[in-house]
Amino acid sequence: MTTTPVRDTTAQDRQNPWSRPEFEERLRDIATTRYHDRHAFNVRMHEGALTPAELRRWIANRFHYQRHIPVKDALILAKFGDPALRRMWLRRIVDHDGVREGEGGIERWLRLGEAAGLDRERLWSAEDVLPGVRLAVDGYVNFCRLRSPLEAVAASLTELSAPGIMRTRIAAFEHHYPWIEEEGLAYFRTRVEQGSRDSAEALALVERWALTREEQERAVAALAFKCDVLWSLLDAVDGSGERP
């Protein structure tokens, strides 16, 4: 697998780990400056400029990402030897899958789809998922499958910026897209708190595990890679003509 370049470092740099505050600042900087809230498609979404067809295309394609989040979290879970860590991470899977039928984040995303006029069977069928979205999601799942626990957990740190984009999105949907029924926004409302908690937990783990400069750089590169995943997904949705 390739590594997303972040910046050049000299051999001498490499011998000195960043202090914890400096490391955290570098992570936060990537999670801010490379985050997909700056992508033209999200900018247009937040300004209210998307057509209903574009918004539905985004919802259908983002469902492909959502349904694979618990898959990648199960791959991460399987890397942990410590029961306390597994318990912590297991909660993420439950957040998305629910404890029983009809609950959880995936179900809430399906209801968002229905509130926007999409059929849940069609969402599950993945018929409308664009090739670039499949590749971006596969890229993220395989990254978590193949890389170290440190890198897989660091990749989730885009969630440092997720609560902010959720709040912006809720306001944008209420204001600009009132044709989407209010109950459809439950997914975003729930993620504000879940994303804050998840990112705080993941940041603490990454700071605990990345002790050498090399490990710190790997964590930063993993986060940059994940920003690229989210960006590529939107590139595909933004650029899409309908497939034949």
Ligand X SMILES: O=C(O)c1cc(C(=O)O)c2c(n1)C(=O)C(=O)c1cc(C(=O)O)[nH]c1-2
Query: Considering only residues 97, 128, 151, 159, which one is a binding residue for ligand X as defined by CB under 6 A?
Result: 159
Question: Closest CB to ligand X among 69 and 180?
Answer: 69
Q: Which stretch binds ligand X (CB under 6 A): 50-58, 159-167, 173-181, 207-215?
A: 159-167
Alpha-helix runs per DSSP H in the chain: 11-15, 20-33, 40-47, 52-77, 83-97, 105-115, 120-125, 131-146, 149-155, 162-176, 186-209, 213-239
Please report, as a single letter, which amino acid is at residue 116: A
Q: Is 204 exposed, middle or buried (0-12, 13-18, 19+ CB in 10 A)?
A: exposed
| Contacts made by residues 17-21, CB under 8 angstroms, sequence distance 24+ | 17/211, 17/212, 17/213, 17/216, 18/213, 18/216, 20/207
Q: Is 156 in the site for ligand X (CB under 6 A)?
A: yes
Question: Closest CB to ligand X among 156 and 216?
Answer: 156
Cβ at position 102, least distance to ligand X in Å: 18
x/- contact string, 172-211, with ligand X (CB under 6 A)? -------------------x--------------------
Query: Considering only residues 158, 216, 236, 237, which one is a binding residue for ligand X as defined by CB under 6 A?
Result: 158
Q: Is 162 in the site for ligand X (CB under 6 A)?
A: yes
Residue with smallest beta-carbon separation from ligand X: 158
Q: CA geometry: angle at 63 spanning 60 and 64, to 5°?
A: 105
Q: Is 144 in the site for ligand X (CB under 6 A)?
A: no
Cβ at position 226, least distance to ligand X in Å: 6
Q: Is 69 in the site for ligand X (CB under 6 A)?
A: yes
Q: How many CB atoms lie within 10 A of CB 21?
A: 9
